[in-house]
């Protein structure tokens, strides 16, 4: 989802002017969101596994095409970072920061590749911040500085305005409902995420019954290291969920024998499942996965063989 949000952000940027002082990206995500995520695009684009997967899955290929378009317009992918927020209805706000991401010429270049005659951009300046209405007013782009822009769906525009223009009553997501979730995220990693889970949604998620919040992060150095946590009503609920999860992993490992893999590959894939650890801490289920590049390659090759293009 996060990569799709970045694509939307720059796809609709038709022009830009200067405005506003720089700010921390997370401080521009309004309190109207229920979940947040961050992606270091430079780190992602250099990740071996992403490169291996993008040619086999169209969604990743589209992301790669967007990154190439950004480079063609003079944006330095290595410097780009994204912070996104979404509400319960899937309406998003995205902050993109990086060298010259708010530069007029670079955004105009991107806009010329995608501009729509049916929905021309409308530009105005408020309190020193350039605001560009896009898609017939469905979204607005805020040019915070030469190195930062914000794209917001209509429902989040008022909240972003207050934050970007330092107006009274402004509240960020991490100072409000997501304060506790945010405090538990390891943001030094190139991918991180966290949010609240509605009662209706929790029943639709695997192992989600009773889940109220989640968080996690991914380190892409030397393979993959994933940490995640899910919060439940009490310790008993968390323990029951952890046991269910362990049972699912055991079943999954047993099913490897039915994939038609060579014995050596099946053994190595089983080792990947064994690398997943789960424990209960208070009312949270905390998990971790640490895979070497070799083990990650085995998992990726298995997924590609079963679900890649033409499968």
Could you tell me if 58 and 98 lie in one domain? yes
Phi, psi values for residue 198, rounded to 5°? -70, 160
Q: For residue 132, is it within any domain?
A: yes
Closest CA to 293 of 53, 45, 47: 47
pLDDT digits (tens, 9 = 90+) for 81-99: 999 999 989 999 999 999 9
Q: What is the pLDDT of residue 260?
A: 78
In this predicted structure, the answer to whether residue 64 has a pLDDT above a threshold of 80 is no
Phi, psi values for residue 95, rounded to 5°? -110, 125
pLDDT digits (tens, 9 = 90+) for 93-147: 999 999 998 888 887 777 665 555 455 667 788 777 888 887 777 888 898 999 9
Query: Cα–chain-centroid distance for residue 307?
Result: 22
Q: What's the burial of 232, exposed, middle or buried (CB within 10 Å: 0-12/13-18/19+)?
A: buried
Q: pTM for the complete prediction?
A: 0.81
Could you tell me if 111 and 233 lie in one domain? no
Q: For residue 144, is it within any domain?
A: yes
Q: What angle do CA 158, 160, 164 make, to 5 degrees?
A: 120
Could you tell me if 263 and 156 lie in one domain? no
Would you tell me how many other CB atoms lie within 10 Å of the CB of residue 288? 15
Distances (CA, A) of 102 to 129, 164, 190: 12, 15, 22
Q: For residue 156, is it within any domain?
A: yes
Backbone φ/ψ region at 210: left (φ over 0), alpha (ψ -120 to 50), beta: left
Q: For residue 189, is it within any domain?
A: no
Could you tell me if 97 and 133 lie in one domain? yes
23 band by pLDDT with thresholds 50, 70 and 90: low
Q: For residue 81, is it within any domain?
A: yes
In the chain, the number of structural domains is 2
Q: Which domain holds residue 14?
A: 1-179
Q: For residue 192, is it within any domain?
A: no
pLDDT digits (tens, 9 = 90+) for 203-217: 777 778 899 999 999
Distances (CA, A) of 179 to 73, 172, 196: 37, 9, 11
Could you tell me if 23 and 102 lie in one domain? yes
């Amino acid at each position: 989802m996060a990569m799709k949000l970045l694509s939307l952000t720059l796809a609709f940027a038709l022009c830009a002017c200067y405005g506003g002082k720089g700010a921390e990206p997370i401080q521009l995500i309004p309190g109207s969101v229920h979940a947040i995520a961050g992606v270091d695009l430079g780190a992602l684009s250099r990740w071996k596994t992403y490169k291996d997967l993008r040619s086999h899955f169209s969604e990743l290929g589209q992301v790669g095409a967007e990154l190439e378009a950004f480079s063609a317009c003079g944006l330095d992918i290595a410097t780009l970072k994204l912070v996104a927020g979404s509400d319960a209805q899937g309406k998003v706000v995205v902050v993109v920061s990086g060298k010259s991401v708010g530069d007029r010429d670079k955004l105009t270049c991107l806009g010329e590749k995608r501009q729509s005659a049916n929905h021309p951009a409308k530009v105005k300046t408020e309190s020193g911040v350039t605001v560009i209405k896009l898609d017939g007013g469905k979204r607005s782009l805020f040019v915070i500085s030469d190195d930062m822009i914000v794209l917001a769906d209509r429902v989040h525009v008022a909240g972003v305005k207050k934050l970007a223009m330092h107006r009274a009553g402004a509240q960020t997501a991490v100072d409000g409902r997501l304060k506790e979730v945010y405090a538990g995220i390891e943001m030094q990693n190139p991918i991180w995420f966290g949010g609240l889970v509605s009662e209706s949604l929790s029943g639709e998620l695997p192992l989600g019954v009773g889940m109220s919040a989640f968080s996690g992060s991914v380190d892409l150095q030397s393979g993959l290291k994933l940490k995640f946590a899910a919060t439940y009503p009490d310790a008993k609920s968390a323990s029951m969920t952890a046991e269910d999860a362990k049972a699912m992993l055991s079943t999954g490992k047993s099913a490897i024998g039915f994939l038609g893999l060579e014995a050596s590959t099946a053994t190595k894939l089983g080792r990947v499942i064994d690398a997943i650890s789960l424990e209960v801490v208070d009312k949270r289920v905390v998990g971790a996965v640490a895979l070497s590049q070799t083990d990650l390659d085995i998992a990726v090759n298995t997924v590609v063989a079963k679900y890649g293009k033409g499968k």
